[in-house]
A and B are shown apart, each in its own frame.
Chain A
Amino acid sequence: MKRKVMAIVLATAMAAGLTGCGAASAPTEVKTETETEAATQTAAAGENTLTVWCWDPAFNIYAMEQAGEIYQESHPEFTLNVIETPATDAQTKLTTAATSGDLSTLPDIILINDSAFQKNVISYPDVFVDLTDSGIDFTKFGPAKVTNSVVNGKNYGVPFDNGAVVNAIRTDVIQEAGYTIDDFTDITWDNYITLGKDVLAKTGKPMLSMQAGESDLVSMILQSAGGSMFDAEGNPTIVNNELLVKAMDVYAELVKSGVLVEVNDWDQYVGGLTSGNVASVINGCWILASVQTAEDQAGNWAVTDMPKLDGVEGATNYSNNGGSSWGITTNCKDTALAFDFMASTFAGSVQLYETILPKSGALATYLPAADSEVYGEGQEFFGGQPIYATITEFAGKVPSINTGVYYYEARDAVSTALSNVIAGADINAELKNAQDTVSFQMGK
């Protein structure tokens, strides 16, 4: 008996130990954080050094390092210190630093998702440096892109990667149904649904897939017609928003007709593309990096513009989803250096964009880069189409809208409405609910 009690006690102790194991990951995290901190401080102490937080080794980190090398050519004493910090971690660290009032842990330059940029500037006004008079020429970037990091008429971010929407299509699949990429170029959503139904009937493949409960596509359609969920003053305009109703109608019609299938998570979404279960994708051009992982489909993809809304004045075939911009923090001791660095690399060097494009596919929103020869080169994966020049051209035509500080609130509320509408609820009542939710969360 006693031995048994002992065994159970030990088992419980072991259980406690196991739980302990689960929690034991915390110290490692702390360690990296202290490492980062030390690095940040040394960087701040040394002169002619800039510290940067960004997250993707194949993409923005690579781009930043290349920018550092270019700048070193003219400033040999300059050093760049890039610290890999995932976007969510950067957000948490930024929040911690800003709320504790100790900004010394922050880097000089930080990469932030466009959709979170205004939110951060407004929530933590002491953290970001006003770049309006920094000597960086913002007119050289796509205007819709620049808007993302403008707060109260002031520029706080240097635009980086492009989120221009592409409509990438499997040419072999639509060919099976008797179509070419030209049939899908410069069309309206009504045309698209008709074509999509035909492709579905002839090949059994839906044109699109989307994560269920995500309003991304609706947002893209909305922006393509110059619409937004907020007005210029930042008040929500979800209810009685004719464009939003039209965009949701299009989405509901796509789902109902089977032209669009809903999946549950990101892996299934990307999996659908790479396995060839869906015939096309409409999303920010960064999705092409995932598309190109399907090497067996090389040569069978082509890029064109997205459909536009029918019967809407000012509707275009261009929109934006995602992308990020560089911000400079107030912890930066040498803002003149940071300004000069940005002005002579990301906001002034076509050479930089030429270097980073082939290896990382990092597409610029820096308009002069589009004229570069590298951008005009045909891409084998896309059947020799010079997609990068095409997309940069799209980017310049995206309607400029106010995405709003409360972007994530609106996005979640509209996603909820969208899910309910697909399940059969009344669209106007749902939009009214969504508007109420967002207004409530804004404290109005």
Chain B
Amino acid sequence: MMLKEKQNLTGWGFLAPATLMIAVMSFYPMFRALILSFKTGIGTGMTWSGLYNYTRMFQDGVFMQALKNNFIYLIIQVPIMLILALVLATMLNDRSLKCKGLFRTAIFLPCATSLVSYAIIFRSLFAVDGFFNTFLVKAGILETGYNFLGNPTSARIVIILALIWRWTGYNMVFYLSGLQNIEYSVYEAAKIDGASPFTIFWKITAPLLKPTILLTAIISTNGTLQLFDESVNLTNGGPANSTITMSHYIYNMSFKYVPNFGYAAAMSFLILILVAVLAFVQMKVGDKRD
């Protein structure tokens, strides 16, 4: 009994510093932000307004547009990226493949570039006189450069392409590590039974990787809903707010426009709620263990 108590105390002793740090550096600010989200006003002149900010955002045309944009990115980009990552991981996991390290590094490398610089590079690639337009004109496909970033649909497609380029390798690494936990003999047995590569992928790889797929789905959902750099640096939210994200609008509300931190905090909490709800749904749908 005494020993157990002592051990317990030691355990708590080790936990205490980290817990304290998280509480002070993370939970306390979050709590203050929550309080802030119930206030409204300009700059430092804040007054209590109850749930006003939370009802206000649903009448805010720009915020609703941003919410819609975020969901467009989420619904289109995340599945494409995850499937691509899974396919690449399966291919790289093949034992007969040569130069595995090279491919792996090449696919993972985009993820090590700075968010701002890659966004700017994509912007210049898709400029009217940029690389892609020059290529398309020289190849005779287009007569004059197409303004990719000047048209709502194509601007969104460019952002989605950029996101896929940047994040596929990151998710692939998770899948690769997940794949290491699947016994190779299972694959050999399946091959002997005459299973096609597609069947192997569908019946063995996908089900056994389920926990990892779930993890990446939640991370990607979270990341997409908080998207900021691409919207700011690649398209600046344009044309006509067709690519602006929620985080970008929250930033504008705090630092570009006449600051209303209460409203900005309330919008941030909506993102938190959305991420939590989506993660919960994904866990319910994806995890059948209990």
Contacts and interface: CB of A to CB of B under 8 A. Distances in A.
Interface of A: 1, 4-5, 8-9, 11-12, 15, 18, 21-22, 88, 91-92, 95, 98-99, 101, 119, 122-126, 212-213, 262-265, 267-268, 405-406, 408-409, 412, 415-417, 419-420, 423, 433, 436-437, 440-443
Nearest to B113: A22
A212 B155 CA distance: 13
A419 B44 contact: no
B177 A419 contact: no
A122 B258 contact: yes
B112 interface: yes
A423 B180 CA distance: 52
Given A123-B43, A440-B59, A8 B258 contact: no
A212 B150 contact: yes
Nearest to B123: A265
Interface of B: 40, 42-45, 59-62, 104, 108, 111-112, 114-115, 123-124, 127-129, 147, 149-150, 170, 173-174, 176-177, 180-181, 184, 236, 238-241, 252-261
A273 to B, nearest CB: 14
Contact of B112 (A18, A265, A268): A18
A51 B181 CA distance: 61
B258 A405 contact: yes
B127 A91 contact: no
B123 A213 contact: no
7 contacts: A15-B111, A212-B238, A213-B236, A268-B127, A268-B129, A415-B238, A440-B61
Nearest to B151: A423
Contact of A213 (B129, B174, B239, B261): B239
Nearest to A416: B240
A213 B112 CA distance: 32
B261 A99 contact: yes
Nearest to A277: B129
Nearest to A213: B238
Contacts of A119: 257-258
A123 B170 contact: no
A279 to B, nearest CB: 17
A264 B149 contact: yes
Given A92-B255, A213-B239, A264-B123, A437 B61 contact: yes
Contacts of B255: 88, 91-92, 95
Given A122-B42, A265-B236, 6 more contacts: A125-B45, A264-B147, A265-B123, A408-B252, A412-B252, A437-B62
A69 B257 CA distance: 37
Given A4-B180, A264-B127, A409-B258, A98 B43 contact: yes
A9 B123 contact: no
Given A5-B180, A99-B261, A126 B44 contact: yes
Main secondary structure of the interface of A (DSSP, over half): helix
B289 to A, nearest CB: 22
A9 B114 contact: no
Contacts of A405: 258
Given A15-B108, A264-B128, A99 B257 contact: no
B125 to A, nearest CB: 12
A123 B42 contact: yes
A99 B43 contact: yes
Contacts of B254: 95
Given A12-B173, A123-B259, A419 B42 contact: no
Nearest to B126: A264
A165 to B, nearest CB: 23
Contacts of A8: 173, 176-177, 180
Contacts of B253: 441
Contacts of A440: 59-61
B43 A124 contact: yes
Nearest to A120: B43
Q: 7 closest Cβ contacts across the A-B interface?
A: A123-B43, A419-B240, A213-B238, A8-B177, A416-B240, A419-B239, A18-B112
B208 to A, nearest CB: 15
Contact of A212 (B43, B44, B62, B239): B239
A15 B170 contact: yes
Contacts of A262: 147, 150
Nearest to A25: B114
Contacts of A265: 123, 127, 236
B193 to A, nearest CB: 22
Contacts of B114: 22
Contacts of B128: 263-264, 268
B144 to A, nearest CB: 11
Contacts of A15: 108, 111, 170, 173
Nearest to B238: A213
Contacts of B239: 212-213, 419, 423
A213 B240 contact: yes
Contacts of A412: 252
B44 A409 contact: no
Contacts of A5: 180-181
Contacts of A409: 257-258
A7 to B, nearest CB: 9
Contacts of A122: 42-43, 258
A443 B60 CA distance: 10
